[in-house]
Amino acid sequence: MTRAQQTISIAMILTSIYLAVFLEIVSFPEKIQKEVVPVVPFWALVSFGAYLLFKLGWGVFTFNDVPEAYKELQAQILEARTDLKSKGVEVGED
């Protein structure tokens, strides 16, 4: 089963459970049924958004510098400068 199929399956199961509760096929106490159940989709959406913002923030917070990539990029810049100088293009030195 692919990840997309798994995600769709879980979403369908959760939607089915929510609809069963919302349509009162499965009943809860009246206070929960009237006050909590209708706002569950909004709560889920806000929670998912907060989770995604946390993941984004955590990724930025723990962003690691990659020394190997830096060295590779510097080597590519030096190679490009050498190539351009051999073709007669003036390249500024930093």
Per residue of the chain (94 residues), what is the pLDDT tens digit? 799 999 999 999 999 999 999 999 998 999 999 999 999 999 999 999 999 999 999 878 877 667 777 888 899 999 999 999 999 888 777 5
pLDDT of amino acid 65: 66
Q: In the numeric block, which tokens belong to residue 64?
A: 């690691």
- Which residues lie below 8 Å from residue 38, measured CB to CB, with a gap of 6+? 22
Is the Cβ–Cβ distance between 30 and 37 less than 8 Å? no
- Which residues lie below 8 Å from residue 26, measured CB to CB, with a gap of 6+? 17, 20
d(CA 72, CA 64): 16
